[in-house]
Amino acid sequence: AAARQVADNPGGAYNPLFLYGGTGLGKTHLLHAVGNGIMARKPNAKVVYMHSERFVQDMVKALQNNAIEEFKRYYRSVDALLIDDIQFFANKERSQEEFFHTFNALLEGNQQIILTSDRYPKEINGVEDRLKSRFGWGLTVAIEPPELETRVAILMKKADENDIRLPGEVAFFIAKRLRSNVRELEGALNRVIANANFTGRSITIDFVREALRDLLALQEKLVTIDNIQKTVAEYYKIKVADLLSKRRSRSVARPRQMAMALAKELTNHSLPEIGDAFGGRDHTTV
């Protein structure tokens, strides 16, 4: 919804727009979609998309060629500046200095800024506090791993695009076990399809187990919410049932908060899924 509003009203709604989340969750895709949306509504708009390293390279080249003023004019004349993976500005002091002034100039001119990162703005190490503060001036949006139903829908749609009949129970089997990101999900399906085409076999759950055995074995070794709950309960000398209960006493609330924080940090589950695993709590509580 926020991305749509920015595309409809660049510079007027949510400026800057900061998108953050793990690899493969679609940040770059969303960034391009917003840029295309702006162009669709304003064909003459100057929309510039780039990876943060390109900004650094352009600035270095400008310094080498004594063309820094030209560099400044170019970046400050855009209608929308879309920069991917802003975390790569870390420890690049001169680039941060120039981007700081570019950022201010664009905001003053009501020109749209959209940034992506793999982490929350204040968690980006090596970036000046004044920049991190500005990143949060508009709207900061977390891009979460897709929920189970969405993962199933993604698999079914991808299979349909490839003219492959994917049984619902097979899509559910894959989606329930691969939770990290869309890229991994689609990669797994591509492997299943390739194996099916090569062997001529039907796509069943047993076939998927065989085709994805190494990937599924890796997933089973990952940290799970169940393991986190058991470990936290043991550490605080309480029962897992206490973590899932509605009790709000400090002796239970604190361990519950710790367990939910660990689940968010160490697993690929979405906030709603974590909330469900802790007694059906609302994702905003998580």
The string of pLDDT tens digits covering residues 153-165 is 999 999 999 899 9
pLDDT at 227 (0 to 100): 86
pLDDT at 219 (0 to 100): 72
| pLDDT of 100 strictly over 80 | yes
Q: Which of 6-15, 111-120, 165-174, 204-213 has the lowest mean pLDDT?
A: 6-15
| pLDDT of 182 strictly over 90 | no
pLDDT at 284 (0 to 100): 66
pLDDT at 286 (0 to 100): 64
Mean pLDDT of the 29-34 span: 92
Mean pLDDT of the 11-31 span: 88
pLDDT at 206 (0 to 100): 95
Cα angle for residues 236, 239, 245 (degrees, 5° grid): 110
| pLDDT of 99 strictly over 90 | yes
**63-83 residue pLDDT tens:** 999 999 999 999 999 999 999
CB 89 within 8 A of CB 99: yes
Mean pLDDT of the 15-21 span: 93
Cα angle for residues 208, 192, 196 (degrees, 5° grid): 95
CB 270 within 8 A of CB 146: yes
Q: How far apart are CA 27 and CA 183, in angstroms?
A: 12
Tell the residue number behind the tokens 């994702």, with chain if given: 283
Q: How far apart are CA 172 and CA 211, in angstroms?
A: 16
Topology classification of domain 148-221: Helicase, Ruva Protein; domain 3 (1.10.8)
**232-282 residue pLDDT tens:** 998 888 998 889 988 888 889 999 999 999 988 887 788 888 988 898 877
For the chain, which residues make up each domain, given as ranges? 2-142, 148-221, 225-277
* Token representation of residue 78: 């855009």
Peptide bond into 121 cis (omega under 30): no
Handedness of CA 8, 14, 17, 20 (dihedral sign): negative
Q: What is the DSSP string of the chain?
A: -HHHHHHHSTTTSSSSEEEE--TTSSHHHHHHHHHHHHHHH-TT--EEEEEHHHHHHHHHHHHHTT-HHHHHHHHTS-SEEEEE-GGGGTT-HHHHHHHHHHHHHHHHTT-EEEEEESS-GGG-TTS-HHHHHHHTSSEEEE-PPPPHHHHHHHHHHHHHHTT----HHHHHHHHHH--S-HHHHHHHHHHHHHHHHHH-----HHHHHHHTHHHHHHHHHS--HHHHHHHHHHHTT--HHHHHS----HHHHHHHHHHHHHHHHHS---HHHHHHHTTS--TTT-
| pLDDT of 46 strictly over 70 | yes
Per-residue confidence band for 138, with pLDDT thresholds at 50, 70 and 90: very high
- Residue 18: strand pairing partners: 115, 140
Q: How far apart are CA 250 and CA 11, in angstroms?
A: 45
Mean pLDDT of the 48-54 span: 96
pTM, to two decimals: 0.69
Mean pLDDT of the 115-139 span: 93
pLDDT at 44 (0 to 100): 94
CB 26 within 8 A of CB 142: no
| pLDDT of 201 strictly over 80 | yes
CATH of domain 225-277: 1.10.1750.10
Please determine, looking at this structure, whether the domain spanning 2-142 carries the CATH number 3.40.50.300.
yes
CB 121 within 8 A of CB 92: no
Q: Is 145 left (phi over 0), alpha (psi -120 to 50) or beta?
A: beta
Per-residue confidence band for 179, with pLDDT thresholds at 50, 70 and 90: confident
Residue among 239, 247, 240 at smallest CA distance from 224: 240
| pLDDT of 221 strictly over 80 | no
Per-residue confidence band for 223, with pLDDT thresholds at 50, 70 and 90: confident
Cα distances (angstroms) measured from residue 148 to each of 20, 267, 268, 269: 21, 14, 12, 9
